[in-house]
Each structure stands twice: as structure tokens, then as C-alpha cells.
Structure 1
Amino acid sequence: FAAGPPGTGKTSLCRALAQKLTIRLSSRYRYGQLIEINSHSLFSKWFSESGKLVTKMFQKIQDLIDDKDALVFVLIDEVESLTAARNACRAGTEPSDAIRVVNAVLTQIDQIKRHSDVPVSCPSGAWEVIPVGVSVRCDVLCSLAECCPVADVCVPPCPQCQIIYPRQQLLSLRELEMIGFIENNVSKLSLLLSEISRRSEGLSGRVLRKLPFLAHALYIQAPTVTLEGFLQALSLAVDKQFEDRKELSSCA
């Protein structure tokens, strides 16, 4: 299981794990096969059809597993949807067909786990609501508590796109620590970026990836910009994200 807030890269981590293992085990398996299952697709509007969908889908997975040249990975995304269906069924707001789907999925996972070379990964943004029946099937829990810092997500692509000109080298956090976070001509912009990164705490990875676009579209509106100008626009974009959140919260 990969658990964490939205935008921390849970699904990406599971995909990367499948790729890395396929490369590492290339001497044993000719190719890797990643099968992504969206939990919402397991439910049908027709009564009793949902269980058949689950059985049919996992039968196709079993056919791939039988190929000894393939390393098969199963990724069940948004697994908390199964939990919501089970809880709603118990509360009487969902038909009994919903809980059949959950039970069918758990049974099929148990059958897959009989094969020692078929990893099953389940990214979830709500680990606390996962029922015991699901959590006990978890061998390893990977918690992604924080998103990537702004410095790693926002700044590097911009010089490559020739938005920031001329290019300037920024100091890393370790280098800033070595000089005691003292501001000078060399460290000024790096300290500004560090401050923006600190203020962006709480924003998801998806929002962080949009910040360069928002900064350029809303506050720059020019083909090129200096690094200092870009960081100032980036700071305004971060402030706007929190202002928008506050407005949405007040309207709710």
C-alpha cells in the first residue's frame, strides 16, 4: 500500500516500482506487464453484473500470469472507493451488489497472492478508512507524507524552456546551511526560493507542478524573464493558491 495526501506521487511511485523491478529482473522475465485497475470501473449500474465484471477482469489477469516470460504487476487505484461502497452497503444506502464487488476483489487478490511473482500495489489517499479486511492483506505500507519541494518541481524546467534568461545557478539547501543562511549577492535568490518553498507547505504535488504556468500566465506575460522576476511571480502564485483556498472554504 502507498498512503499519503493527494498529489504526493502514490500512483507514480507504484508505476516506477513496476518499471524498476522489470529492469532488475530482465534476466528472468522477457517483459513486464502493468495492469491498472480503477476501482470505480468495477461497479455496474445493472444488478449482479458487478461481480461478473470483477471475475472477467481477473480472469484476463490470470491469463497473463500464466505466461512465465511476463512479470505482471497489478495496480488497484483509488482503493478507498471499495471501502466507501462497503460502508454505504452496511448503512443501507447501497445495494447488496456493492459489497459483493468488494468481497470478490478481496477473494481475487488472495488468489493472485498465491503467485510469489505478482506484486499488487494499492495507492490510497485515505488509509484511515481502509477496513481491516483490506489492511491485513498489506505486506508493506509506504507512507508519502510530504510533496516534492518547490525547488525540485518548479525551477529546473524553466531554463530548459528558455523562459528564464540569463541562466543563474541556485544554491542547494545544504549549501545554504553551510553558509548559515547568510544573505549576500550569491545566496539572495536561493534564500528567496527557500522562503517560497517553506510558504508552499500544504500544497499538493499537482498544484506545485502548475505554479510555473500560473506564475508566467498571471504575473509575467512575457517571453522571457530574469530569475529574480520569476521567483517574485512564483511567490505571488503561491499566495494566490492559499487565497483561492480560503475563498472556497468560505463559500462552502
Structure 2
Amino acid sequence: MSVFVDVEIILREYSNNISKKAIIAVVHRYLQKIIVRPNSVINNFENSVLHKDVKTIIVGDIPTYNNSFVDFGSVEVNWFVYNLDDYGPIMQCESDGDEGEIIISTQLSLPSACLVNLWENLYYDHNIKQNLLRYAQTMMEFSDKGVDCNVISCNRVILLHGPPGTGKTSLCKALAQKLTIRMSERFTSGLLIEINSHSLFSKWFSESGKLVNKMFTKIKETVENTNTLVCVLIDEVESLAHARNQCLSGSEPSDSIRVVNALLTQIDQIKRHSNVLILATSNMTETIDLAFVDRADIKQYLGNPSVTAIYKVYHSCINELIKAQIIKEQVLESVETLTVDESKEKTEETKQLLAISERSCGLSGRSLRKIPFLAHALFSEKSLVNLNDFLYSMEKAVDKELEERRHFEGLKKQSY
């Protein structure tokens, strides 16, 4: 059975007029000469001829691969060659009467320089990223090929839920970027529209529902261009899709219900378009209206990372600090290396990082990525430190973070 790997080639803005076929051939020869791990990003080409035309090479993950390094002589490669959009997000505003304008959404052209490497630096268990990518690709394929949604239900809605700090919003943005790249033969461009849920609640009675309708009207105008893949991100969707039975006990209940009704109606209308995908996140699923939950084709829970995922996060952070010359260069074994050869004797630094990872269980991904910063800021006395010394600083930073969390949990208990 063939093993496939995705390889992305990001071109420089002012690269020479060289064909994609020629670029792929040169990159393929280059990758066969160097050591590359799955799920890696290559930026430094030294004196290679690639330097003039290629900005970055991204080698995808291979979940079923049993080798620590990619053998480009034996794997099948899916090539993706593209340029990045450097302009960043553009705010979309709506008049709010005498109060001026409110920001109802931001738009980001894809693939964007703002989202480079985001996908590769999100670590989860059980192939969550690959499954979401396949789910989304299947949704788009069914719609594109005219599968009757009255026979096989597909609303093209993905709901990611779980505790704060687990990377739900980041994963949505990274998924939109990857889909644009992976489906480049079908769509010439991509667009991420991030809805500002909180701004859609107007202080004027009954205006919120109208704002939701206006916003989706603009989205539909964008979707009319069938060559553009449109990903709509609704962060903290419970703000717009609050359970209607709970709205009845609050102030201005009818306005909240109008917002939910407007959102559900617009989702039902926009699903007729084959080039749109709705991505939603929530920290409080118990407050989401069940009608919205039912419309979600995929409901994926994202919890706090396991020891393996924590080790990957810390490993990537340490490699970044080595590249920035904050930690002296030293080889630190990857999780893939440890998994392939479990009998291999681990270095003291690897054992130490594994112990730190176990101690960090219960921390969110957002908190984990702050630990190296806290370690250097609070417990490192030198600007350039040994890996062993930095790991001791990380231990202290983890202990401090856990202590602070216990303090806040104690305050919460006292407030009840």
C-alpha cells in the first residue's frame, strides 16, 4: 500500500518566472538529499538554488508512517505550489445609527502569511487534524458533485467544542488555510470570514436579528464567486445561537430569540452553495441551541493535551528557542523517534522533558506555550542558556503556573 505525504512549496513574492513543474523537480531532488521529519517546516536553504524562488517548504504529517524520517525515494508526494497573501485581515463594518460603525466581521484572503505554520504547530491526539481535513474535503466534494442534501444530509457546519485554551479557534483558521491549499485545483482562492459575534448584539431592541441578516447577505454576495472557497468562522457561537428555552428567563428575550432564528435561517439558505463551509467554536456547549447543534455535521471535542501532545508542544518551543539562539543547540529526541524505537536509551534531557510533560497534565495548550517564556523571564539568568539549565527553569515555571491555578480555584470556591 502506497504511503502519501503532502509537500507544500511556498514561493517568494518576487520569484522568477519558473514553472511549477520545474520548481517541484528541484525541490524533490533537494528533499532526497537532506534529513526531513514528517510535519516539519524548512526555511533555511543555505546556498541551495531554491533560495531565489522558494520561501518555505512544509512537509505534512504521515499518521501511518513508522519511520522517523521521510524517505522521499519511496513515498508518493502530493505537491502544492502557491504564493501567500501578505495583506492581513480587513475589517467589515456596519452603520449603527448615531453611534457610528461597528465591526461585524473581518476578512482574510487565503492562503495567508498570517497563518503559515499554524497547522503544523497544533498538536492533538487521535489524528484529529487529519480527520477534520478529510471531513471538510468530503463535505465540499459531496456538494460539488451535486449529492442531494435531502437524501444525504450535509449542512457543511463543523462545531469544535471544549474547555478554553485548547486551540479551537486556531484549528478553525488553520483548517481553512489547509483546505484552500489542498483544494487549489477546484478553487482559485480562499477567504476566511470571521464573524464578530459580540458586535452583532445591538443596544437597540430587535436590531440584532437584522444585523445577522445583513451580514449573511454580504457573505452570500461573496459566495456567488464559485471559484472562491469561503470559510465562515463563528467563534463562541453560543453568543449567537444561545438556547432559546434559556432566553425566556433573561432580559429582552425576544431579541435573543430573533438572533437565533435569523442565524438558523441563514445557515439553511447558505448551505445551497457548494463553496462555503461554516466553522464554529464553543466553550459552553450546554448553552447552545439544540437546533444549531443538530445542524452541525461534525461535532469534535478538543480537550487538554495528553503527555504525548504536551511533549510535542514543548519540543517545538525548545527548537524555536534554539533557532533564535536563546538555548544552545543540542539534540532533543522527538516523540516520533521515541515511538519508533522504544528500547532506545533516552538522553537525560529527554527524560527530564518527559517528566515536565507529565507534570504539566491538566494545562491547556495556550498555557503550555507560555511556559518557555515564563521559564526564561523568571528563572533564567543568561540570555543564552544550556538546554539542561533551561529545562530546570521550565520545571519551576510549570510549578508556578500550577500554583497560580490552585490559587484561582480556591478563590472560586470561596465565592460560592
TM-score w.r.t. the length of structure 1 is 0.90
* Per-residue deviation, residues 168-209 of structure 1 (Å, max 9, x unmatched): 111234544645586xxx611100100101111111111111
Q: Does 1:162 pair with 2:325?
A: yes
Aligned to 2:296: 138
The structure carrying a bigger strand percent of its residues is 2
Give the Cα separation in 1 of the matches to 2:246 and 2:264: 17
The worse-fitting range, judged by mean Cα deviation, of 135-144 and 77-86 is 77-86
Which one scores higher on RCO, CA 8 angstroms, separation ≥ 6?
Answer: 1
- SS of 1:45's equivalent in the other structure is coil
Aligned to 2:210: 52
- SS of 2:248's equivalent in the other structure is helix
CA contact (8 A) 1:154 1:208 kept: no
* Per-residue deviation, residues 92-122 of structure 1 (Å, max 9, x unmatched): 3343211111111111111111223211111
The worse-fitting range, judged by mean Cα deviation, of 225-234 and 205-214 is 205-214
Total equivalences in the alignment: 248
- How large is the RMSD of aligned CA atoms in angstroms? 2.0
Structure 2 gap segments, 5+ residues each = 1-158
* Counterpart among 114, 121, 135 of residue 279 in structure 2: 121
Q: Does 1:212 pair with 2:375?
A: no
Give the Cα separation in 1 of the matches to 2:245 and 2:315: 39
CA contact (8 A) 2:242 2:289 kept: no
5 Å matches for 1:39-188?
39-84=197-242, 86=244, 88-147=246-305, 148-149=309-310, 150-165=313-328, 167-173=329-335, 175-176=337-338, 178=341, 180=343, 187-188=347-348
CA contact (8 A) 2:166 2:302 kept: yes
Amino acid of the structure 1 residue aligned with 2:354: S
* Counterpart among 376, 382, 394 of residue 222 in structure 1: 382
Aligned to 2:351: 191
Q: Percent identity?
A: 53
| 1:51 Cα offset (Å) | 1.4
TM-score w.r.t. the length of structure 2 is 0.56
Give the Cα separation in 2 of the matches to 1:173 and 1:58: 44
Aligned to 1:31: 189
The worse-fitting range, judged by mean Cα deviation, of 167-176 and 210-219 is 167-176
Structure 1 gap segments, 5+ residues each = none
Change (3 A) 1:31 1:23: same
